[in-house]
Amino acid sequence: MEPSETSALELPQAIEDYLDHLRDARGYSLHTISAYSLDLAKLTAWAAKKGPVRAVDLDKRTLQMFLSAQARGLAASSQSRLLACLKGFGKFLVQNHGMPRNPAQTIAFPKKESKLVSVAGAEFLDEVLEEEPQGFAAARTRLCVEMFYGSGLRLSELTGLKWTHIARDGSSARVLGKGSRYRTVPITASARAMLEEYRALCREHGVQTTAGAVLVSAKGKPVGNRIIQRTVTDRLHAMGRRGKSSPHVLRHSFATHLLDNGADLMAVKEMLGHSSLSTTQKYTHVSVKKLKETYAKAHPRA
């Protein structure tokens, strides 16, 4: 679009252009695009109360009023995501539609709450992974626990894992993470053993294990996030977990236990697939907490 046309560009069309840009040019995940679409739909609905709005009519004050109206009841992390969406949208308008300046550029992010991530204890997880699974579904759940805790995978990364993504010797896997970025993660010895046991069960059920999704039903149909979320959570609860229980807790535990045992922060960042080191640093808070507890118990003058 020529800069001269920018003044006539209506907000809904500008938003549609931006979402297309995120999908086609930036390779954003469908989850992120969906979240941004909902955020910008709220902006459109809010602005429309005052009549038709053009993209050029957006200014800092308007966006601050919108953010203030939306902030009630939202956690700081959700407010930050909303502002990040607006900043990205404003930058897109400047670069692609001749907007003179990004109206959201100087709006400050809200201060994030200081929360420790939920982590399961190493001894508890040892118990979970020592019990022999009985049957196909139990073996699949055990494999999931092994992979979440042993390789630090996200839920969508594991449900999207294919047999062709696993190295021939089973020592690593290539996973598709956020931003459509691939990374290679290690597979523990116990996870490799469980993977072979699960592969054998798949073959017994007539399910091929050379291509296609790793996580399937006994009939060979891929299973989605909801089933894996539920079965892993149920397994942790069945073993006595009373705190927050989910695949992401296992991912948190993976990172925290690595750092507790002296792993390099940058290496953990790469294994988790974080784009920013600051995202990984939240796990050091848990490790510092453990260090203080150990100090208080062990030092004679603590």
Give yes or no: 274 in active site: yes
Q: Cα–Cα distance between 182 and 163 in angstroms, integer?
A: 15
189, two tokens = 């010895």
Q: Give 34-68 as a DSSP string.
A: HHHHHHHHHHHHHHHTTS--BGGG--HHHHHHHHH
- Give the residue from 233, 228, 235 showing the smallest Cα distance to 127: 235
Q: Give yes or no: 248 in active site.
A: yes
- Catalytic residue list contains 154: yes
Cα(102)–Cα(77) distance, rounded to whole angstroms? 22
DSSP 8-state assignment for residue 132 = P
**84-122 burial: b if 16+ Cβ within 10 Å, else e:** ebbbbbbebbeebbbbeebbbeebeebeeeeeebebbee
Q: What are phi and psi of 213, to 5 degrees?
A: -70, 145
- CA gap 138, 115 in Å, rounded: 33
Among residues 36, 149, 198, 283, the one annotated as catalytic is 283
Does the annotation count 297 as an active-site position?
Answer: no
Catalytic residue among 251, 252, 257, 269: 251
Residues in a beta bridge with 54: 10
Catalytic residue among 87, 142, 154, 235: 154
Select which of 42, 60, 241, 274 is catalytic: 274
- Active site positions, annotated: 154, 178, 248, 251, 274, 283
